[in-house]
């Protein structure tokens, strides 16, 4: 199958993924990167495999897009504990509602809990957050538990 046929049959996957992740800024750039990846994937796809081409492309393109987000937008930042967290390098300019919500709950949490929450909502995994914060995964579990308890109490009282 030629790439033109693959493109004609599967280009909608790229648009669907970009819409699913609410990509509006640099849409064309992300589209081009995913299109290149589509071409690369079309070269390595084994037509004898049990997975369909559509499923193969969707899954691989989705993970590639997530990797792009992590590499470009959410590079690990170092947080200075002595400064207020919102004045640090943690920024949520692409998601103003999330930024606003984090500002609203900042007063409820300790600095470490808030730092954990900031990384968590950016999509980092527990072991990645532990590495970024320089603590063990057990400590991250404690931050998580404490933050969730405080937030749950806050929202139950507010209801």
What domain range is 140 assigned to?
85-158
Q: How many C-beta neighbours within 10 Å does residue 54 have? A: 11
Q: Among 24, 46, 72, give the residue marking a domain's end.
A: 72
Query: How is residue 29 written in tokens?
Result: 């750039």
* 44 within some domain: yes
* 78 within some domain: no
The confidence score (pLDDT) of residue 2 equals 85
62, 89: one domain: no
pLDDT in tens, the chain (159 residues): 788 888 888 889 999 998 888 888 778 888 999 999 999 998 898 888 888 989 999 999 999 988 888 776 544 444 443 333 443 444 555 556 666 777 778 888 888 988 888 888 878 888 889 999 999 989 999 999 998 888 888 878 654
* 77 within some domain: no
66, 123: one domain: no
Backbone angles phi, psi at 6, to 5 degrees: -60, -45
> In sequence order, which residues have a C-beta less than 8 Å from that of residue 5 and are 6 or more positions away?
none
Domain of residue 136, CATH code: 1.10.10
The confidence score (pLDDT) of residue 85 equals 41
The confidence score (pLDDT) of residue 97 equals 66
Cα 109 to Cα 24, 95, 113, distances in angstroms: 32, 21, 6
């Amino acid at each position: 199958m030629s790439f033109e046929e693959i493109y004609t049959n599967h280009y909608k996957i790229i648009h669907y993924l970009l819409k699913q992740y609410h990509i509006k800024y640099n849409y064309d750039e992300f589209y081009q990167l995913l299109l290149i990846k589509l071409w690369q994937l079309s070269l390595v796809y084994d037509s004898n495999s049990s997975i369909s081409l559509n499923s193969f492309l969707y899954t691989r393109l989705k993970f590639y897009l997530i990797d792009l987000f992590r590499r470009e937008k959410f590079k690990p930042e170092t947080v200075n504990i002595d400064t207020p967290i919102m004045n640090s390098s943690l920024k949520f300019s692409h998601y103003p509602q999330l930024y606003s919500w984090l500002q609203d709950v900042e007063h409820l949490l300790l600095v470490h809990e808030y730092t954990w929450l900031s990384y968590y909502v950016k999509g980092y995994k527990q072991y990645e957050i532990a590495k970024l914060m320089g603590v063990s995964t057990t400590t991250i579990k404690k931050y998580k538990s404490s933050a969730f308890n405080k937030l749950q109490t806050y929202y139950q009282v507010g209801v």
